[in-house]
């Protein structure tokens, strides 16, 4: 590449949770890592207050370790930052963490392990020879262009942007390119948890409860347990009288449920995930920008509904809005193996499995539509390393939402716990390849990779 090039061993593109896991697991071995993100910060959707899903199975077994454990250990150093795994007796356990503490923990670990960070910088092009990337071109926020030569690239862009720019293949949404709706998540503080949970206990039909036969089957019992546990990890259902009536009389916008997650017990603070706009290709900037404005109106509507209709929210105040539009679905790469919906629901394991996923197939549709198909017996499925290897490319791996998966499988693998798993595996594989001077990731010794992941605290089976 051009004269003003800089050299890096490993470049990670994308500062969401997958890119963070990749950068941290590579940098902690001492190799030089550059993490590039086109936003002014890192963390993405992981720092909005939504629960980390996929880290615990429906049965409550811990399935993700490694970088996640390191992040939580730092979070636990701040008072009350980690509420922990909570079950709403619906389908899953959610790991509830204060999003500001999580972002701080991420930044502290990036600093600790010496990850070089390049923010407000977009990778616009790659240079490659016969499927091997030799360098990337970056446009910085100030308009400057930089070139970086590198040995390995990890595409953690959430959309396979680097793969598609380098000659790999990426597909989007369903056959008609329909994608899951976009949302704007927000937080409210000063909520009185006890009256809210009492309301759910006395009206269990108001919440999505007892959907998975592995968990408590009776809605009444599930609501009772929720109340007793004291954590407002609840999904207020559109089939309930309260939200259902609001949908009918149009004082609320159509949604499946209001997914509520506690982020601070002291401040009575919750994250609320309910707004949605469907049938929109958010990879187009006009669409994403317009959606943000429409969703802001939905947030206003939701606040009005909650404070006027829902017990416990009478004195609640808005405490935060996600710093960006939440995009559930964009591109999935064509990889050496495509993870399939059937692999998820049948909890299939693979010889080249580099970690576990546990979240149900979860595909949000328009209005009140949502498909949820649980993993067999509330267990965990394996994630093959070959899903991280883009077809036709040699020294590129993907991590996070855009791994090779069919649409159903992606509805599960897109969650944060699983993004951490693929990020950690990609970062570790890149360090191994660097150490052994392997150019093509297909030649990585899987047993060796698994050994290093286990040493890093990853959970493989």
Ligand X SMILES: Cc1cc2nc3c(=O)[nH]c(=O)nc-3n(C[C@H](O)[C@H](O)[C@H](O)COP(=O)(O)OP(=O)(O)OC[C@H]3O[C@@H](n4cnc5c(N)ncnc54)[C@H](O)[C@@H]3O)c2cc1C
Binding site for ligand X (CB under 6 A): 13-19, 36-39, 44-46, 50-54, 122-123, 156-158, 161, 183, 185, 273, 326-328, 400-401, 414-417, 419
Write down the least CB distance from residue 398 to ligand X, Å.
9
Distance CA 68, CA 89 (A): 24
Distance CA 93, CA 89 (A): 8
- CB closer to ligand X, 38 vs 394: 38
Write down the least CB distance from residue 419 to ligand X, Å.
4
Structure tokens belonging to residue 37: 């993100």
- 327, exposed or middle or buried, with CB in 10 Å at 0-12, 13-18, 19+? buried
Write down the least CB distance from residue 315 to ligand X, Å.
26
Write down the least CB distance from residue 409 to ligand X, Å.
13
Write down the least CB distance from residue 282 to ligand X, Å.
9
- CB closer to ligand X, 86 vs 438: 86
Write down the least CB distance from residue 218 to ligand X, Å.
25
Write down the least CB distance from residue 138 to ligand X, Å.
7
Distance CA 9, CA 341 (A): 35
Write down the least CB distance from residue 220 to ligand X, Å.
26
Residues 6+ apart with CB under 8 A from 278: 180, 181, 364, 365, 366, 367
- CB closer to ligand X, 46 vs 453: 46
- Count other Cβ atoms within 10 Å, centred on residue 368: 17
Distance CA 221, CA 393 (A): 52
- CB closer to ligand X, 161 vs 431: 161
Distance CA 19, CA 163 (A): 15
DSSP code per residue over 174-211? STT---PPEE--EEEES--HHHHHHHHHH-GGGB----
- CB closer to ligand X, 273 vs 386: 273
Structure tokens belonging to residue 276: 């949605």
Write down the least CB distance from residue 443 to ligand X, Å.
25
Q: Which long-range contacts (CB under 8 A, 24 or more apart) does 218-222 make?
A: 222/88, 222/89, 222/90
- CB closer to ligand X, 226 vs 438: 226
Q: Is the dihedral of CA 417, 422, 426, 428 positive or negative?
A: positive
DSSP code per residue over 126-155? EEEETTEEEEEEEEETTS-EEEEEEEEEEE
- CB closer to ligand X, 167 vs 311: 167
Distance CA 394, CA 153 (A): 10
Structure tokens belonging to residue 363: 């595909």
- CB closer to ligand X, 122 vs 446: 122
Write down the least CB distance from residue 314 to ligand X, Å.
26
- CB closer to ligand X, 172 vs 224: 172
- CB closer to ligand X, 126 vs 438: 126
- CB closer to ligand X, 420 vs 438: 420
Write down the least CB distance from residue 163 to ligand X, Å.
11
Distance CA 85, CA 79 (A): 17
Q: Which long-range contacts (CB under 8 A, 24 or more apart) does 343-347 make?
A: 343/381, 343/382, 343/409, 344/373, 344/375, 344/381, 344/408, 344/409, 344/412, 344/413, 345/373, 345/374, 345/375, 345/376, 346/376, 346/381, 347/375, 347/376, 347/377, 347/379, 347/380, 347/381
């Amino acid at each position: 590449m051009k004269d003003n090039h800089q050299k890096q061993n490993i470049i990670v593109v994308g500062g969401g949770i997958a890119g963070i896991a990749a950068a941290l697991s590579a940098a902690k071995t001492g190799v030089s890592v550059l993490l590039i993100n086109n936003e002014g910060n890192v963390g993405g959707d992981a720092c909005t207050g939504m629960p980390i899903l996929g880290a615990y199975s429906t049965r409550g077994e811990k399935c993700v370790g490694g970088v996640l454990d390191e992040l939580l250990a730092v979070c636990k150093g701040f008072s009350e930052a980690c509420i922990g795994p909570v079950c709403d007796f619906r389908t899953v356990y959610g790991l509830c963490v204060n999003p500001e503490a999580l972002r701080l923990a991420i930044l502290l670990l990036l600093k600790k392990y010496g990850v070089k960070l390049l923010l407000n910088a977009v990778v616009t092009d790659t240079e490659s020879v016969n499927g091997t990337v030799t360098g990337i071109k970056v446009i910085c926020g100030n308009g400057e262009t930089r070139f970086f030569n590198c040995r390995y690239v990890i595409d953690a862009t959430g959309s396979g942007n680097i793969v598609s720019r380098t000659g790999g293949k990426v597909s989007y949404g369903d056959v008609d390119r329909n994608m899951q709706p976009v949302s704007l998540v927000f937080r409210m503080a000063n909520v009185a948890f006890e009256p809210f949970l009492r309301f759910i206990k006395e009206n269990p039909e108001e919440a999505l409860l007892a959907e998975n036969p592995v968990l408590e089957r009776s809605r009444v019992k599930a609501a009772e347990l929720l109340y007793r546990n004291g954590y407002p990890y609840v999904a207020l259902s559109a089939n309930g009288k309260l939200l259902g009536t609001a949908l009918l009389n149009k004082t609320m916008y159509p949604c499946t449920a209001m997914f509520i997650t506690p982020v601070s017990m002291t401040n009575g603070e919750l994250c609320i995930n309910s707004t949605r706009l469907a049938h929109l290709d958010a990879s187009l900037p006009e669409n994403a920008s317009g959606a943000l404005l429409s969703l802001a109106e939905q947030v206003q509507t939701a606040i009005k509904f909650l404070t006027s209709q829902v017990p416990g929210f009478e004195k609640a105040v808005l405490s935060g809005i996600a710093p960006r539009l939440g995009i559930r679905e964009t591109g999935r790469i064509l990889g050496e193996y495509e993870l399939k919906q059937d692999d998820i629901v049948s909890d299939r394991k693979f010889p080249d499995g580099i970690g576990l996923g546990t979240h149900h197939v979860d595909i949000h549709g328009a209005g009140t539509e949502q498909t949820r198909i649980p993993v067999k017996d509330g267990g965990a499925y394996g994630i093959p390393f070959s899903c991280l290897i883009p077809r036709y490319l040699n020294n590129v791996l993907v991590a996070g939402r855009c791994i090779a998966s069919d649409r159903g499988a992606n509805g599960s693998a897109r969650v944060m716990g699983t993004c951490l798993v693929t990020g950690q595996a990609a970062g570790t594989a890149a360090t191994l390849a660097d150490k052994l001077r392997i150019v093509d990731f297909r030649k990585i010794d899987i047993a060796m990779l698994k050994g290093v992941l286990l040493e890093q605290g990853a959970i493989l089976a």
